[in-house]
A and B are shown apart, each in its own frame.
Chain A
Amino acid sequence: MENAIETKDLTKYYGDFLAVDHVGFEVKRGEIFGFLGPNGAGKTTTIRMLTGASTPTEGSASVMGFDIRSRPIEAKEQMGIVPDVSNVYGELSAWDNLIFTGKLYDMPKTFRESRAEELLRMFGLYERRDERVKGFSRGMKRRVCIAMALMNRAGILFLDEPTSGLDVQSVLIIRDLVRKLNEQGLTIFVTTHNIEEASQMCDRVAIINHGRVTAIDTPERLKRMVESLQSVEVAFDSTFPGTLESLRALPGVGEVVKEGDKFRLFTNDPPSVLASIWGFAEGKRLRVITLSTLGPSLEDVFVKLTGISPATASAQDLYRVQGRGKRDGGRRQ
Chain B
Amino acid sequence: MSIEHRSHLRREVRVAWAITMKDMRTYYTQPPSIMFGILFPFSLFLSFSIGRNVSLASQIPVLISQTLFFASSSIGPVVIPTERANQTFDRFITSPVSLLSILMGKTLAGVIYGVGISLIPVLVGIAFFGSSIISLVALIACFALSSFAFSALGIMFASIPGQTPGQVMMPLNFVRIPLLFISGVYTPVRDLPLLMQLVSLASPLTHTVELARYATGGDAFFGPLLNVVVLTCYAVLFLFMGIRFHVMNQRRE
> Which residues from chain A sit less than 8 Å from chain B, CB to CB?
14, 48, 51-55, 57, 72-74, 76-77, 79, 81, 83, 85, 87-92, 100-101, 103-106
Contacts and interface: CB of A to CB of B under 8 A. Distances in A.
10 contacts: A48-B90, A48-B253, A54-B250, A55-B250, A55-B251, A79-B94, A87-B87, A103-B14, A106-B15, A106-B96
B163 to A, nearest CB: 13
Interface string B79-122: 00000001110111111111000000000000000000000000
Given A104-B15, A104-B92, A91 B25 contact: yes
A76 B88 CA distance: 16
B190 interface: no
B22 A76 contact: no
B96 A105 contact: yes
A89 B87 contact: no
Interface in B36-93: 86-88, 90-93
Please tell me the size bucket of the interface on B.
20 to 34
Given A14-B252, A77-B96, A106 B14 contact: yes
B244 interface: no
B11 to A, nearest CB: 5
Nearest to B253: A54
A89 B26 contact: yes
Closest 3 CB pairs of A and B: A103-B18, A87-B87, A76-B96
Contacts of B93: 52-53
A104 B95 contact: yes
Nearest to A73: B96
B91 A104 contact: yes
Contacts of A72: 96
Contact of B22 (A73, A85, A89): A89
Interface of B: 11, 14-15, 18-19, 22, 25-26, 86-88, 90-98, 247, 250-253
Given A76-B95, A106-B11, A53 B90 contact: yes
- Does more than half of chain B's interface fall in helix, strand or loop, or is it mixed? helix
B11 A52 contact: no
A104 to B, nearest CB: 4
A91 B88 CA distance: 12
B97 A104 contact: yes
Contacts of A89: 22, 26, 88
Contact of B18 (A48, A79, A100): A100
A91 B28 CA distance: 12
A240 B173 CA distance: 70
Nearest to B11: A106
A74 B86 CA distance: 26
Contacts of B19: 104
Contacts of B26: 89, 91-92
A106 B18 CA distance: 9
A81 B15 contact: no
Contacts of B22: 89, 92, 100
B243 to A, nearest CB: 14
A51 B95 CA distance: 9
Most A Cβ at <10 Å: residue of B14, B19, B251 = B251
A87 B25 contact: no
A97 B39 CA distance: 31
Contacts of A76: 94-96
Nearest to A78: B96
B15 A53 contact: no
Nearest to A158: B94
Given A53-B253, A77-B96, A104-B92, A87 B15 contact: no
B95 A87 contact: no
